[in-house]
Chain A
């Protein structure tokens, strides 16, 4: 049978229709709404965007997202890498990896509730419920209000994210590590490399493409970070992030214009990362 011009479209048609209906159309609609007022009645030009880039709460959120982006990504990827390399050398690797991966199985909200107990704070003298403060007071320190003191509270929130997502990075990097033929590291050892040189000059360069994919995936994820902040502080005490403000504007204050403008900004921030990711992925498919 000869291929007619419309045959390819028949095959990708259903996917295109679904994507168009559930992704493209809402995106365009959001983009349009972002130029209208709270009730989407009145055209306001760039007012919502001006708000998004000038309002002090938004500026704090941008700052916090930047902190999240750098600290969260750095720690999840580097811890994931270090753990993947270390557990590769021990016999109880599977158990160790299971434990580190376990937090991934907990919902973000569940994890946040667990960490609320970790960070719980009572004034000095009162019995401490929170594990961290209990430990501090046992050793004679003063209890710390982990979730209130800025900017440390943002770091405390990031720690939860790192606790949850390190396992994800580890699993992917560990799989890539297993893919490196053992003979390569053996050849390097015979060539005269010590363990550190083997890691730096053989293992790491070969893991690099995977590290890049994991990093960009983490960046895309962390740009949209919401749940942890929402549950733990709801953005109070200067911990707010872009996605949380978007949620508040759209669904709490009913200002769809501002909410949409913020989501468009978020989308634009994420696109370059997605683009890098897809290109990397394609590159890997080609070298195979």
Chain B
């Protein structure tokens, strides 16, 4: 086990800079998720840690050792690929044993480790099968098994669940969680799925355009996003953003926009610019309510409703902006209804429209 430290790491492909000088410390035994949209540089970052891509500049350290010029085979890492990358000409046993054989580990020890990993993953009866005879979930298990038998310092996962169907993905996700809880190996996990990021990571690094926007615990990232991008990326459905202006009347400060007028507590009001973007998560909207004089409400016209059983998603137009609210499923709401929703003002965010940074 070891910590992984990236210092000012840059990766260029010709003129294109995929990773723009990121700093990242993954503590020993922790599970870090790199999450972001396609092309944000997360996979490139992972591949640099694996040694499959050269670092253009900066430094990558695994444990005590700077590994910039260490080939992948000597980095003592294991990686699980998106498409599993099982060796098609070897059976499951040999797929898992391959790395151990190369390291000249004794036959008995190999057998012990492979059997142990197979038992852990529930694939003992598949050891003689070829990869093409396995289902997607089983292949995924073999790929994970191949990584854990090596007992490496670091696990790297490159979108390992994206080829599985929805149900299996949830199941494998919890299994990976349990596995990490048992093995406590330093893990770096790349995904574009923010649910995976939230559920698996001790910390998540939200990336875009080769830059880490925020590196925090899932809860912190969700409750206190560093900027508008993180706020919009983490959480599903995504946060609602409404342009607004800040005005003061009779010594009280208000955030005013099309269809809403929110009072701003004095302690939060200082230093807020004139123009802001209000961020409200769908689950922080409640109602509909009928009291027209209530504080902190917004008015909207329903465009679409989605009854999911456990929740009711209401898509609506608030002025010119489209918003979505996650409401109690017992409400009956129709398209074209004008509704008034209560906003949880304590959980409301303001963003600077110039820099997109979070004001609070």
Q: Chain A interface (Cβ within 8 Å of chain B)?
A: 181, 183-184, 186-194, 197, 201-202, 205-206, 287
Contacts and interface: CB of A to CB of B under 8 A. Distances in A.
B73 A194 contact: yes
Given A190-B50, A192-B99, A287-B132, A184 B87 contact: yes
B166 interface: no
A165 to B, nearest CB: 28
A190 B79 contact: yes
Given A181-B85, A184-B87, 20 more contacts: A183-B82, A183-B85, A184-B85, A186-B81, A187-B81, A187-B87, A189-B52, A189-B73, A190-B73, A190-B75, A190-B77, A190-B79, A191-B78, A191-B99, A191-B102, A192-B73, A192-B102, A193-B73, A193-B102, A205-B89
B39 interface: no
Contact of A192 (B50, B52, B89, B103): B103
A203 to B, nearest CB: 11
Contacts of A194: 71, 73
Contacts of B98: 188, 191, 193, 201
Interface string B47-77: 0001110000000000000000001110101
Q: Using C-beta atoms within 8 Å of the partner chain, give the interface range for chain B.
A: 20 to 34
Contacts of A184: 85, 87-88
Decide if the interface of chain A is mainly helix, strand, loop or mixed: helix
A52 to B, nearest CB: 43
A52 B73 CA distance: 59
B190 to A, nearest CB: 14
Given A190-B73, A206-B88, A181 B83 contact: yes
B242 to A, nearest CB: 44
Query: Looking at A181, A191, A201, which has the most chain B CB atoms within 10 Å of its CB?
Result: A191
Nearest to A186: B52
B contacts with A: majority SS: loop
B81 A191 contact: no
Contacts of A189: 51-52, 71-73
B146 interface: yes
Interface in B66-118: 71-73, 75, 77-79, 81-83, 85, 87-89, 98-99, 102-103
A211 to B, nearest CB: 13
9 contacts: A184-B88, A187-B79, A189-B71, A190-B50, A190-B52, A191-B78, A191-B150, A201-B98, A287-B132
B180 to A, nearest CB: 19
Give the most central of A183, A187, A201, A287: most B CB within 10 Å. A187
A181 B52 CA distance: 14
A111 B217 CA distance: 71
Contacts of A206: 88-89
A205 B85 CA distance: 15
B73 A191 contact: yes
Given A197-B102, A287-B132, A190 B89 contact: no
A202 B150 CA distance: 19
A194 B71 CA distance: 9
Contacts of B103: 192
Interface in B262-288: none
B238 to A, nearest CB: 32
A201 B95 CA distance: 11
B72 A190 contact: yes
Contacts of B89: 205-206
Contacts of B51: 189-190
A201 B89 CA distance: 10
B303 to A, nearest CB: 44
B272 to A, nearest CB: 50
B271 to A, nearest CB: 50
Contacts of A205: 89
Nearest to A184: B85
A60 B146 CA distance: 56
Contacts of A187: 79, 81, 85, 87, 146
Nearest to A194: B73
Nearest to B158: A183
Residue from B50, B52, B77 with most neighbouring chain A CB atoms (10 Å): B52
A193 B78 CA distance: 12
Contacts of A192: 73, 99, 102-103
A272 to B, nearest CB: 26
A219 to B, nearest CB: 24
Contacts of A193: 73, 98, 102
A193 B283 CA distance: 50
B102 A186 contact: no
A118 to B, nearest CB: 42
Contacts of A181: 83, 85
Contacts of A190: 50-52, 72-73, 75, 77-79
Contacts of A201: 98
A287 to B, nearest CB: 7
A264 B98 CA distance: 50
B81 A202 contact: no
Contacts of B150: 191
Contacts of A287: 132
B74 to A, nearest CB: 8
B87 A183 contact: no
A205 B94 CA distance: 14
| The 9 residue pairs across chains A and B that have the minimum distance between CB atoms | A191-B99, A183-B85, A187-B85, A192-B102, A192-B73, A189-B72, A205-B89, A190-B72, A183-B81
A186 B132 CA distance: 19
A186 B85 contact: yes
A54 to B, nearest CB: 47
A181 B102 CA distance: 21
Contacts of A186: 50, 52, 72, 79, 81, 85
Contact of B83 (A183, A188, A191, A197): A183
